[in-house]
Structure 1
Amino acid sequence: MEKLNLDDYIRKVPDFPKKGVLFYDITSILAQPRAFRYCIDSMVELYQDRKIDAIAAIEARGFLFAAPFAAHVGIPLLLIRKKGKLPGKVMTKKYSLEYAEAEIEIHCDDVVQGSRVLLLDDLIATGGTLNAARELLTACGAQVPEIFGVVGLPFLNYEKVLNPTPVRTLINYHGE
């Protein structure tokens, strides 16, 4: 696999969504097939020989990375969505954001008891959403051996929130 510098493919948007924030935009990866393929190939290389029974992804950009990976390695894709987006019986988890509360949901019926589920999001910032997702998966009977993100912002201390679950990313930014 050809090694790419992902930083060359990630758009940095100053003062978004508010003044003082530097936004790391992964949509520019999706617009470049070479970079997108590199991300999927890197995930396959990292996880194809590990005991992973399924992958769970956070709405919505996480789906874009998890779906081709799941199809490639032949494992189920579990969707973690915002409240009210999944039909039928769901399990819900409330969690705190910086200035508000949010809720995410999953179909527990899709989670096999005792399965090892890789949890994925496109970007890991504070870890709040991923922590809530991990708690949902655990409540549904799964184990979460690792959390994966394409981009990590460790200066926001996500490892403290997600401890003891190991976190792996393809690229980290340490604050600008």
Structure 2
Amino acid sequence: MRNKCFRKFYPDQEDFKTIKKEFADFALFMNAFENPDSIEDRVDFEPKQWWVTHGVSTRLLKKLALKVLGQPASSSCCERNWSTYGFIHSVARNKLTPARAADLVFTHNNHRLLSRNSQAYLTGPSRMWDIEGDGVESFGGVGMLEGANLSLDEPDLEEEIIDSLT
């Protein structure tokens, strides 16, 4: 799996060979990583500090390590996804199959991401429509969703929702 990751980040064959060699050196405490300070500092330093200090001679591995270590550790994406799932698969819509609900969540999140690339997202009447996330308890005040053409493949529920909006 590590090589699969390396190949994804470095599709060029020469870069791929270089990153594999640099990782082998790191894992086996060889070449640039064999000095006692480098080995001792692995325990004492924060990972990013260590890579900045001791990863100087490994251009690709250092760059990848700092990229990975710079990722914020957060569960907010999961929470947002669960919130969307709860919005879609509610008591009123409990006959949705798990696969159908997962497809709707997937579609909703991709729509959200794609809409951010449009000019209307920044300037239109539904400006920044998803900025507050998915924590919507009712259909009141959800911005763009009020006028959107929604289809849940559930005509009765859809009619009820539209009637409650008007």
TM above 0.5, one fold?
no
Relative to total residues, which structure has the larger helix share, 1 or 2? 2
Bin for the TM-score computed over the shorter chain: under 0.3
Bigger strand fraction: 1
Q: TM-score with structure 2 length normalisation?
A: 0.26
TM-score where L is the length of structure 1: 0.25
Q: Could you say which structure has the larger radius of gyration?
A: 2
Structure possessing the higher relative contact order (Cα contacts under 8 Å, 6 or more residues apart):
1
